[in-house]
Chain A
Amino acid sequence: MATAIGILILVIVTLLFHFLSPWQFTEIAADWGSIDFAVDLTFLVMGIVYVLLNGFLIWVVIKYRHRKGVKAHYEPESEKLEWWLTIITTVGVVAILAPGLWVWARVVEVPVDHEVVEVVGAQWHWSFRFPGEDGVLGQTAVREMSVDNPFGMKADDPAGRDDILVHNGEVHLRNDTNYKFLLRSKEVLHNFTVPQFRVKMDLVPGMVSYQWLKTTRTGRFEILCEEYCGMGHFAMRGSVVVDENAAFEEWLSGYPTYADILAEPEPDLAAGQAQYAVCSACHGANGEGNAALNAPNLAGQQDWYLERQINNFKHGIRGSASGDTFGAQMAPMAATLIDEAAVRNVVGYIASLPVSGSPATVSGDVERGEEIYGTCKSCHGADGNGIWSQNAPRLKGVNDWYLERQIQNYRQDVRGSHPQDLYGKQMSLVSGVLRDDQSVKDLVAYINTL
């Protein structure tokens, strides 16, 4: 009896859990109600099977448990019963398979009127490409990829000139629109998943896969990589923002075409030097930094990283969080750089400055720091020089007190918590490996030795 009650409890708990659990499908944001229907139908059919089978099991265990003098029935087989069971099971299977395949046929077939967006996955971030006015994506190749051409655009393909390149983990989409996502990976498997969209598909290096959907409501949704892609897999996040038409157009117009990027002039160093006068007050004439003013050294840092951070300061993505006192100081300074060209010029000027050493001020257990750095090196490189394709800046030679403060900021969500700071979010996720303040010191002490 106890046995049957034990199983009965488990069955009841399961049913209660199913109906009461707070963990249900997210509110759908694509026209894939048919997928939800297929899931619900499966739950219904399988729920019935679950209750019937377990109910029978429980009843049998109660009814036919050992009683003195009662012998088991001897019946090797019953062809009739077995046939019936086979037929009923087959009917049940068809009942869930047939609608499933019918919906699948819709998932596979992309409707004729659709817009195309390319989703590019790389360790461990997302970027996006729109085909531009001609509606055709230009050709790409791995061999073309470099720090200046992260998409691997083929310069000789005219179709690529008007492609709009969104080198940023946030993409916007038009509401109420059919989208076909073309999925491309630079190096390993990834998977483009937005839980609210229901569909998902792997990105496979060496080929282009696809998925399609119709957006049905506006909002901001999280992109997750759902195919294991190495150490940083869990930190490979992005955002999809579904906008009404006007907002979408405005967003898209903020991104350059490939032709725009090709036409960008070399940075004007003289103009950059003039702009840098504002910066030099704190960061020093040679970008050597000033600990007393809490201004880190800039010389030697990668230009793409400086450019991104200045823009983050300008747009309130960085320096706006409460608790970020020094970041808040930087925000109005960055605002003095009025446009993209000004930012590029000043960054170009900083790149021309001589690199001077940074004195060690933080001490810690270097050996332990080296162990911890094992996690960092997948992006920042074993030598601490940073890796452009991972969007990871140079750490070697950066003022150690600045590194310590920034790592603490990531740990305390002072930095990396803005929804548009996706690279910062990556850091705040990874900084979870640093248990305590001493770990941060140990790590920085090791970076000093690089």
Chain B
Amino acid sequence: MASGMSSADYIQHHLTNLTYGNHPVNGWSFAESGQQAAEMGFMAINVDSMAWSVGLGIFFIVLFSRVAKNATTGVPSGTQNFIEMIIEFVDDNVKSVFHHKNAIIAPMALTIFVWVFLMNLMDLIPVDWVPSIAGAMGIHFMKIVPSTDLNVTLGMSIAVFVLIIFYSIKQKGIMGFLAELSLQPLGKWALPFNLFLELVGLIAKPISLALRLFGNMYAGEMIFILIALLPFWAQWLLSVPWALFHILIITLQAFIFMVLTIVYLAMAHDHH
């Protein structure tokens, strides 16, 4: 915990993104507080979230494509073996849930699983390290866990949602999709009710997908921040068990995001 800050300020500081945007008074600039970031409205971007998210995505692609390029069919090296384990794990999950032919699903599931896992993994870096370094370099805010930013999780779930709509229409036709939305579960005499029910169900998919990941990571991060408020000699008592437990959570959340994406897309392909 940095000196000269109240606990509330400290928590507030750690939960504020580094936002660059069009401020009504200051013009295009970095927000100096959460208040200013809020005033920027939609014409702003969370630079830290984007940088870490894209950086981790590039790390994932570079690591995996390098292994893929040098992949041998003989005895695999340690790294290749590890990557192959992940690939087989994802492939098994996709094959057990998704029974149609679609070349996008499996690579997308892999991307989601590894990328979300890496973003969540940033949660295990002690909360003060990177913000302190950034602060020393003159950067006021630095949130290093992209999945604690609702924009990031919602961005991914909206992309998945667009794919759900796209494949629903592609597989069933626009009329088939509309019929599915309006003619069940109660038949055509309860059409408005059906439509309402199905639309809520449809919209709930991306919202729950995004909020589940965001909520888990945000809460986890919050607990790390609260633990960081303790005297330094007592922190390990709580932070070590919580970090160990959190290893499970970050893997589980990445896995859940992947599996639900596969399930939703499988539902989009299935005719009811």
The answer on A and B forming one complex is no
Please give the residue numbers on chain B whose beta carbons come within 8 Å of chain A beta carbons, in ascending order: none
Residues of A within 8 A of B (CB): none
